[in-house]
């Protein structure tokens, strides 16, 4: 019997197949390192080309900062007049 999807190995009987060790070594190998490096470099490339900005929060912060500056300016003018 031959089961190419399981393993490229010939089995003489079903008992041999049943007694086979189907454990998989999941330790890191060269492919894992290449994929991890590729993913890291791809992510860095994307973030270098696409600005990730929360425009709603940025505009809120700009408006708040401007409001604080205007308030401080008004308060300072008021204090200088008195």
Q: What is the share, in percent, of the chain residues with pLDDT greater than 70? A: 78
Buried b (16+ CB within 10 A) or exposed e, 18-44: eeeeeeeeeeeeeeeeeeeeeeeeeee
Q: What is the share, in percent, of the chain residues with pLDDT greater than 90? A: 23
Enumerate residues 6+ apart whose C-beta is below 8 A from 17: 1, 3, 11
pTM of the model: 0.38
More confident of the two residues 57 and 2? 57
**Per-residue pLDDT at 25:** 66
Extents of the domains making up the chain:
53-82
Tell whether the torsion through CA atoms of 54, 48, 28 and 25 is positive or negative. positive
**Per-residue pLDDT at 2:** 46
Rounded Cα gap, residues 63 and 61, in angstroms: 5
């Amino acid at each position: 019997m031959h089961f190419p999807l399981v393993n490229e190995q010939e089995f003489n009987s079903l008992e041999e197949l049943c007694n086979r060790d189907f454990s998989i070594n999941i330790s890191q190998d060269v492919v894992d390192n290449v994929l991890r490096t590729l993913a890291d470099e791809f992510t860095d490339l994307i973030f270098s080309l696409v600005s990730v900005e929360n425009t709603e929060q940025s505009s809120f912060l700009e408006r708040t900062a401007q409001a604080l500056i205007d308030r401080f300016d008004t308060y300072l003018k008021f204090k200088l007049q008195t």
